[in-house]
Structure 1
Amino acid sequence: MKKNLLLIVLACFTFSIASAQSVKITGVVVDSTGTPLQMANVIAYQKDKNLGSFGITNDAGKYQLLNLKKDSTYVLKVSFLGLKTIEDTIKNIQEDRTLNYIMYEDNNMLDAVNIVYDMPVSIKGDTITYNADSFTNGTERKLGDVLKKLPGMEVNDDGDIQVEGKTVERVFVDGKEFFEGDSRLATKNIPADAVGKVEVLKNFNNQSQLKGLGNDDDRIAINIRLKEGKKNFWFGEVTGAIGQGDDAVRYQAKPKAFYYSPDVSINILTDFNNLGLQSFTFREYLRFTGFNRGNTRASGSTINVGVGAGGILNLQANRAKEIESKFGAFNGSWQVNKALSLDGFAIFSSVDTDQETLTSREFIGTGVLENTEDLSFQRNQIGIFKLGADYKPNENFTFEYDGQINLSDVTQFNDFTSSRSGFVEDIDQNESQKPITLDQSINMYYTLSDKDIFAFEGRYIDAEEDPFYNAIRDRQGIADPEPFNGNLGLDPADPYNINQQKFVESQKLDAKVDYWRVLNKKSNINFTVGTSIVNQDYNTN
């Protein structure tokens, strides 16, 4: 009991200390007539121009700035479109403060001059727009660095984006999807100085006809608006490094290029290095080969035919002797006309991995000394190609097609040698496969009237896998015993040479039709009929 009481007291003491280290500022913003101003921006900057806190006034003109550091000096900036900006310096803040502000018209504003002012944050419907320059100081290198400074946004080490705790599904640049919306490639590659505005799209659905029909409350996307100087011409960066390490030349080359215009977008990413850095991870591979192309909720069946991974293994850079990575990716889109748009991407990746383990063991009591050498080499080569089309002749009908081919060429060789008690045992293992997957989908959406909406979504997957395994066991200088205690019934051999060839062919068809009857702004009735047909052949010898 005493122990529990002590823990409670300690927790309360710790919480009180943490609370004492931060303060908050609250208040009300009104205009010269005393009318509360809704949607006024209130920002607290520190001396180094870093953002301390941010708030937006509500319909009563109230705001709050939380988690400000005690004993710090802040500059409060209050802004509202058409009114003179207020700047107030708060020195060495020690406790919670209440600060009210009155905003006046700018006397220097001329009737003949149109002044354009960008609010740091604006909200319109389900879209929150951040002006990136209001939260950055020029030290940011990538998009991820910019997003980390925006209120309510987080970016983890893998490049995943979260807004108010919800994971961002897709990333767009000027309304065009960036590499199928992959947030990791976007946060790690888009230059920070190209970012003008960041739009958070809540209750996201890629099809405007379906918006509000399903449970889209937890679906979020972001759209990056480029600065004016980053449109209609090429921009990018080149990173290069070379040096000497471990008696080998170490290098890295990462050219990147981007082009955006109203009708065409092009993104080119490359990375060549032997520093042990993975340019294209297994998680990213699964993201591009396993995503759902439907726009309705729970589209497609949960039946998994188990294809597409292609035997690619997660690399362990901290345990490898040598890793050489080559990566190239192209993403583009073309607005052919008002009704038709085309998009696609191509991704190439090749990774060579060498591992070596040397072990020496002495078995106590027997005096036996064993020395082992374990060498392995793995090569992962993949190619992903996708072509899509979106046809929307009018507001009531949409047709989408996506076709994708996934190719892999995976080989792995392992050589294990054990020396003990006067003999040498050698085990060689070889694995390889070249899987191929064809993945196609067709989606159609039709709005018959304001209250009647139809959707068809179909997806067909055809995949082949051909894994091969070979193992050779040889005890040099003596006859090899039958392995596995004779359970396999193998004929005596010296050495044993065993191999297995498998072939797996899979087809999967998912198709469904949805009908919505809209009752009112908050309610609708949804009827769904669909089918899932799966066929899989397995052969082994």
Structure 2
Amino acid sequence: MRNKVLLTLLLVVTSAVALAQEISLSGTVKDSLGVGVDMANVIAINTATQGLESYGITNHAGLFKLKLKTGEQYTVKVSYLGFKPESFTFTAGEHDAVKDIVLQEQAAQLDEVDVTYEMPVSVKGDTIVYDTDSFVSGTEKKLKDVLENLPGIEINDDGQIEVEGKTVSKVMVEGKDFFDGDSKLAVENIPANALSKVEVLRNFNEVSQMKGLTNDDDNVALNIKLKEGKKNFWFGELTAGYGPDDRYLAHPKLFYYSPKYSINIITDLNNIGEVPFTRNDYRNFTGGFRNLNSRGGSSISTGADGLGLSSTQNNRANDIDTKFAAANFSYAPMEGLDLSGFGIYSYTGTILKSEGVTSYIASNDVESTTSNTDQTIHLGLAKLSAKYQPNDSFQLDYDALLKQSDDTEEVNVLSISSITDEIAEVKKQKPLSVNQNLNIYYTLSDKNIFAVEAQYLYQDEDPFYEAIRNEFAFVDIFPVDENQELYNINQAKQVVTNKVDAKVDYYRVLGSKSNINLTLGTTQSNQNFNSNIFQILDNKDVLNMNGDDFGNDVAFHVSDVYAGLHYKVISGIFTFNPGVTLHQFNVKNEQLGSVVKDNLTSLLPDVYINAQLKKSENLRFNYQVTRSFTDVSNFAQGYVLNNYNSLYSGNRDLESALNHNVSLNFFSFNMFNFTNIFANVAYTKRIDALKSGVNIVGINRVSSTINSNFDDESFTANGKYERTFGKIKASVQGNLGWSTTNNLVDDEQRTSNSLTQNYTGALSTNFKNAPNLELGYRYTVNNYENGDLETTFYTSRPYARFDASFLKNFIFTVDYDYYNYTDKEDTITNTYSFLESNLTYQKKDSRWEYGIKGTNLLNTTTLNRDSTNELYFSTQAYFVQPRYVLFSVKYDI
């Protein structure tokens, strides 16, 4: 019934627009030689109202099309950089018309053309500029709402911005970094009413000297241009809300931008389940740091997050309380010197409750669990950056990023299998990392360019684990005291990492379309791993587990010295960039009074080919052979507890894995009819892959890591087709992932296959003076095959989004998601849905806004997830926050 009502609304508003009689004015824009001009701007101005009536951008053949109202007179203007603008008067009759335009070249033209009317979309080289006023209806509250209206831009499930299927690496406001390293903070906090333009910077490179020398196709940045009234003034919002059950929200944020400095302050306190900064955000927050040797082919892991803390599902949990504060600044004390930095603090207190069923493949045991988790997370980040560029030939960058967290998790588990056990787990850690970066870029001459880049990482991890239970699964392995009322087993670990990456690049420019790149570099990674396991007795005495099997003291070193040669050349529509890197690897682990060494020389090739089919259409091919090294934790031979039923022992004789990676990417953005297409396929083959060797006893397992004699393979494919028809946008999207892996279970080789499929279809409107609606359907299939067992899970998810401005001052929004979760055997069937709504009132020109907000209005109690690996199938039901209603007031600064 709900879907029928929403569909009816869509048909009504669509029909209303169709009532206005329109004709098409089409034609071709050519240069003086008769060649079509790609991406020329064509606008039609109503001579009576002097308003922008229609606009278009030519395709690769110079073709344009404008929709105009019958009987109206227009001034049509055509412009393109490097050509003299042309204009003519046109009166729309009752039939479609054709008009061709010839543009004449001019010797020089300013980058900015003084025009009275802003093009909704314009293209300037690698930059696409969106005039945001042309795409908003007035119901938008933040940058996220605006970006979702722009063709070619979307927000993914992690809250990050994607353009052309690529994640945006940097967001700037007025050319100044906005919390460098994450786009989620920008999309959730920059007010929509402050925006003037959104600039998409494709092929982005922060170092002007390096542009064109390297392949920047995957680098996309966003620059936000502010409205004039927001520059050189403080602006922002102060929001507060309160509701039944003592639910609250406080969300002040302030911004200031001037040519010399900028300040951004964001705070958020709430207990309604809105988490502005998650552990996943923290883990992925790069601070702008990047892998120096991504093209060289080697990967040396340092490990992280050894505790495996619980996470929310769809950012939902049984209860969430969060406090967040962040500040970002930039300052230019003198010409050529820019300073910037940020600080972030986040506290999240989370209550999680779940019920699950796990089917173990080897033993055929089934474990039912009920878990209650109390988690407290403190996250802190701070970054300081300096950029010194006295002239166009020299640039020096320095960055320092500090990250520290304080995590505590208490879990009570009721486990029912062949035995019933109650387990109380405690997990604690205070990991610290400091990352420093120094880069120098020097142009000796037009033909000779040098780049020196270095990074230093210091990382200190101290995960602590405690399990108190009735039954201890590994009494046959550990010398525990069995004459205790409860088993209280504790484990302390510490991993200290010092890692240095440094390289020197020399670019010899052979011409405007080719260069040679020579690289000399090294990576030096040193890790120290210590662990011990002990039992606390009933009388509080400590029983240490003595012996080499129950503790670790490991020194681990990986050295990589390499030299690389790459050649880049542009020939017609093709860019070729083949290369090869020679590595000398030296690996050493010292433990148990002896040293194991592994020395290896490896030649790793890579090839990049780009076919620029049109200005906004390309096909890219990548092939790269890489060698990967694991971290010290997999080499430590003493036992380590992973959780209450999982024990791990490392393998000091591990070797590196060799990976063959192939990818093909297609992208097309047609500004003529606003069609956005991208498709990506990737294949990876892993040789000597690091895999698990596991022995299973019931629901308990003892595992290690081995180099597999069997190759692992994976294949991924994803694509999207999006097109705008007037005020209606339609899209279809699909993602497919297949993998086959090989592990050792109970000394027998086991092959596991996984196939995941995700499909989405959506239809949305973007009217300025009518309600807007988005209807979509998502369908997910997860197929898992382990040994002789196979299972498949299905999730159907129709959804709807509705927003409307009515009675001049009211805005009403509704979000609805429906889930139907089943398995192939029909042993699991669960349907649930989430409904959220928001009603706000704000008089025109008033700074005050009043609102009422409802979350989980249908009072859904649980949601479902499934997972698998070589050992088991698992399905979980997670309990979520109940219905909340909040009254709020906002003051615009």
Please indicate, yes or no, whether the TM-score normalized by the shorter chain is above 0.5: yes
- Choose the corresponding residue for 2:477, options 484, 487, 511: 487
SS of alignment partner, residue 474 of structure 2: helix
Superposed displacement of residue 300, structure 1 = 9.8
1:100 corresponding residue in structure 2: 99
When residues 310 and 414 of structure 1 are mapped into structure 2, their CA distance, relative to the original with a 3 A threshold, is closer
- Residue 249 in structure 1 maps to residue 251 in structure 2: no
- Choose the corresponding residue for 1:449, options 445, 448, 451: 445
2:522 corresponding residue in structure 1: 531
Contact kept, 8 Å, 1:277 with 1:317, in 2: the verdict is: no
SS of alignment partner, residue 273 of structure 2: coil
Superposed displacement of residue 98, structure 1 = 5.7
Alpha-carbon separation, structure 1, partners of 2:416 and 2:292: 60
Letter of the 2:331 partner, please give it: W
- Between stretches 335-344 and 313-322, larger displacement belongs to 313-322
2:268 corresponding residue in structure 1: 271
SS of alignment partner, residue 187 of structure 2: helix
SS of alignment partner, residue 185 of structure 2: helix
Higher relative contact order (CA 8 A, sep 6+): 2
Superposed displacement of residue 485, structure 1 = 5.5
When normalised by structure 2's length, the TM-score is 0.48
Any unmatched runs of 5+ in structure 1?
1-20, 46-50, 69-73, 104-113, 360-370, 475-480
Contact kept, 8 Å, 2:29 with 2:58, in 1: the verdict is: no
Contact kept, 8 Å, 1:301 with 1:510, in 2: the verdict is: no
1:106 corresponding residue in structure 2: none
Alpha-carbon separation, structure 2, partners of 1:312 and 1:206: 36
1:205 corresponding residue in structure 2: 205
- Between stretches 216-225 and 255-264, larger displacement belongs to 216-225
Which structure has more helix as a fraction of its residues?
1
- Residue 343 in structure 1 maps to residue 340 in structure 2: yes
- Between stretches 523-532 and 133-142, larger displacement belongs to 133-142
* CA-based RMSD: 4.1
1:465 corresponding residue in structure 2: 461
Contact kept, 8 Å, 2:309 with 2:409, in 1: the verdict is: no
Superposed displacement of residue 508, structure 1 = 0.6
Contact kept, 8 Å, 1:78 with 1:85, in 2: the verdict is: yes
- Choose the corresponding residue for 2:387, options 384, 390, 401: 390
Contact kept, 8 Å, 2:336 with 2:389, in 1: the verdict is: yes
When residues 89 and 355 of structure 1 are mapped into structure 2, their CA distance, relative to the original with a 3 A threshold, is farther
Alpha-carbon separation, structure 2, partners of 1:176 and 1:482: 56
CA offset digits 1:107-158 (Å, max 9, x no partner): xxxxxxx974433333333223232223333332222222233333333354
Alpha-carbon separation, structure 1, partners of 2:340 and 2:126: 26
Alpha-carbon separation, structure 2, partners of 1:533 and 1:149: 47
Matched residue count: 475
1:125 corresponding residue in structure 2: 125
1:230 corresponding residue in structure 2: 230
- Choose the corresponding residue for 2:403, options 386, 402, 406: 406
Superposed displacement of residue 349, structure 1 = 0.7
Superposed displacement of residue 487, structure 1 = 3.4
Contact kept, 8 Å, 1:236 with 1:256, in 2: the verdict is: yes
When residues 157 and 498 of structure 1 are mapped into structure 2, their CA distance, relative to the original with a 3 A threshold, is closer
- Between stretches 521-530 and 303-312, larger displacement belongs to 303-312
Contact kept, 8 Å, 1:154 with 1:163, in 2: the verdict is: yes
Superposed displacement of residue 237, structure 1 = 1.2
Contact kept, 8 Å, 2:344 with 2:381, in 1: the verdict is: yes
SS of alignment partner, residue 486 of structure 1: coil
Superposed displacement of residue 180, structure 1 = 0.1
2:426 corresponding residue in structure 1: 430
CA offset digits 1:3-29 (Å, max 9, x no partner): xxxxxxxxxxxxxxxxxx9x9967216
Alpha-carbon separation, structure 2, partners of 1:279 and 1:427: 32
CA offset digits 1:25-49 (Å, max 9, x no partner): 6721679x9x99962325899xxxx
Alpha-carbon separation, structure 2, partners of 1:161 and 1:404: 23
Contact kept, 8 Å, 1:265 with 1:333, in 2: the verdict is: yes
Alpha-carbon separation, structure 2, partners of 1:401 and 1:300: 25
SS of alignment partner, residue 511 of structure 2: coil
SS of alignment partner, residue 229 of structure 1: helix
Letter of the 1:512 partner, please give it: K
- Choose the corresponding residue for 1:514, options 499, 505, 523: 505
Alpha-carbon separation, structure 2, partners of 1:345 and 1:88: 55
When residues 511 and 357 of structure 1 are mapped into structure 2, their CA distance, relative to the original with a 3 A threshold, is closer
Superposed displacement of residue 217, structure 1 = 2.7
Alpha-carbon separation, structure 1, partners of 2:305 and 2:487: 32
When residues 54 and 182 of structure 1 are mapped into structure 2, their CA distance, relative to the original with a 3 A threshold, is farther
2:26 corresponding residue in structure 1: 27
When normalised by structure 1's length, the TM-score is 0.76
Counting only pairs closer than 5 Å after superposition, residues 297-308 of structure 1 correspond to structure 2 as 298=295, 302-307=299-304
SS of alignment partner, residue 484 of structure 1: coil
Counting only pairs closer than 5 Å after superposition, residues 41-190 of structure 1 correspond to structure 2 as 41-42=42-43, 55-57=56-58, 62-64=63-65, 78-80=76-78, 99-100=98-99, 116-190=116-190
Contact kept, 8 Å, 2:182 with 2:286, in 1: the verdict is: no
SS of alignment partner, residue 343 of structure 1: strand
Superposed displacement of residue 318, structure 1 = 7.4
Any unmatched runs of 5+ in structure 2?
1-17, 47-51, 80-84, 103-113, 357-367, 533-893
When residues 207 and 42 of structure 1 are mapped into structure 2, their CA distance, relative to the original with a 3 A threshold, is same
Contact kept, 8 Å, 1:403 with 1:440, in 2: the verdict is: yes
SS of alignment partner, residue 252 of structure 2: strand
1:40 corresponding residue in structure 2: 41
When residues 324 and 412 of structure 1 are mapped into structure 2, their CA distance, relative to the original with a 3 A threshold, is same
Letter of the 2:135 partner, please give it: F
CA offset digits 1:142-176 (Å, max 9, x no partner): 22222233333333354333334443222111111
Letter of the 2:197 partner, please give it: K
When residues 99 and 505 of structure 1 are mapped into structure 2, their CA distance, relative to the original with a 3 A threshold, is same
CA offset digits 1:501-526 (Å, max 9, x no partner): 11111111000000000011110000
1:439 corresponding residue in structure 2: 435
Between the aligned residues of both structures, percent identity stands at 47
Alpha-carbon separation, structure 2, partners of 1:462 and 1:298: 23
Contact kept, 8 Å, 1:310 with 1:434, in 2: the verdict is: no
Alpha-carbon separation, structure 2, partners of 1:124 and 1:319: 42
- Residue 503 in structure 1 maps to residue 474 in structure 2: no
Letter of the 1:156 partner, please give it: N
- Between stretches 208-217 and 181-190, larger displacement belongs to 181-190
When residues 84 and 137 of structure 1 are mapped into structure 2, their CA distance, relative to the original with a 3 A threshold, is farther
When residues 299 and 222 of structure 1 are mapped into structure 2, their CA distance, relative to the original with a 3 A threshold, is farther
SS of alignment partner, residue 489 of structure 2: strand
When residues 27 and 435 of structure 1 are mapped into structure 2, their CA distance, relative to the original with a 3 A threshold, is same
Superposed displacement of residue 299, structure 1 = 7.8
Contact kept, 8 Å, 1:144 with 1:187, in 2: the verdict is: yes
2:289 corresponding residue in structure 1: 292
Contact kept, 8 Å, 1:173 with 1:223, in 2: the verdict is: yes
When residues 37 and 509 of structure 1 are mapped into structure 2, their CA distance, relative to the original with a 3 A threshold, is closer
Contact kept, 8 Å, 1:442 with 1:458, in 2: the verdict is: yes
Contact kept, 8 Å, 1:382 with 1:407, in 2: the verdict is: yes
When residues 212 and 317 of structure 1 are mapped into structure 2, their CA distance, relative to the original with a 3 A threshold, is closer
2:324 corresponding residue in structure 1: 327
Contact kept, 8 Å, 1:374 with 1:414, in 2: the verdict is: yes
